[in-house]
Amino acid sequence: MPKQVDHRERREAIAHALWRVVEHQGWPRATMREVAREAGVSLGQLQHYFSSRTAMLTFAMEFAADQTSDRVARGLNGLRQPPHPREVLRVVLTEMLPLHADARATSRMNAAYVLEALHDPDLREVARVGLREGRDLVESLVRQAIADGQIPSDRNPSIETDLILSLTGFTPLLELGVIEPRAALAAVDQHLDRLFGSVP
């Protein structure tokens, strides 16, 4: 019998190929033909799964988000249970920064996605929804920590959420070698220490 093709697996393999092209050559060179070559498939085969570069990018970003969520889940599983919200936020932040190979790949895809979304209304809305959901998750953690007395009650949860997320702004500094990973981690830890105080 002919081998059955796992379409999800093939789409994920193409997404990984797109990541590699973006990581090593940049988004402008991530044409469908180049991604097909990197994935080891014909252009026609790639177009069977993705009708356009935008469709390919959108799937790759959804897959990247899933991969980041999986890494965060693995990180949380390694913490004492139930985990302290400070440690939860630290895991979330460090997985959003380009501190290791997988996170660098998704970070560069994120940058490409944002640039593309600036000029594509449909992508912009998808990106906005995703970012809003991520921000809402962080704010819910902050609000719960305030309610539980782990963050002082006079803190504004919305502002604190924005300050936490601003730490992802270390990404270009890390990518361009302006600062070392240990400096970014030290800043993340100091900010969280100031927000929570000493962890009980």
Give residue 142's pLDDT band: very low, low, confident or very high (50, 70, 90): very high
Per-residue pLDDT, 91? 94
Q: What is the average per-residue pLDDT within 29-47? A: 93
CATH topology of domain 52-196: Tetracycline Repressor; domain 2 (1.10.357)
* pLDDT(182) > 50: yes
Q: Which of residues 159 and 4 earns the better pLDDT score?
A: 159
What does each C-alpha distance from 161 to 164, 184, 186, 188 come to in angstroms?
A: 5, 18, 19, 13
| pLDDT, mean of residues 179-187 | 96
86-96: average pLDDT: 93
Indicate the pLDDT class of residue 5, thresholds 50, 70 and 90: low
Least confident of 5-9, 42-46, 83-87: 5-9
- Does 122 have pLDDT greater than 80? yes
What is the predicted pLDDT for the residue at 200? 46
All residues at 6 or more sequence positions from 150 whose CB lies less than 8 Å from its CB, including other chains: 84, 85, 86, 196
Q: What is the pTM of this model?
A: 0.82
User: Whole-number mean pLDDT of the chain?
Assistant: 89
Mean pLDDT of 51-62: 88
- The full set of domain ranges for the chain reads 52-196
Across 47-61, 62-76, 121-135, 159-173, the highest mean pLDDT is recorded for 159-173
Q: What pLDDT, on the 0 to 100 scale, is given for residue 153?
A: 92
Better-predicted residue by pLDDT, 40 or 3: 40
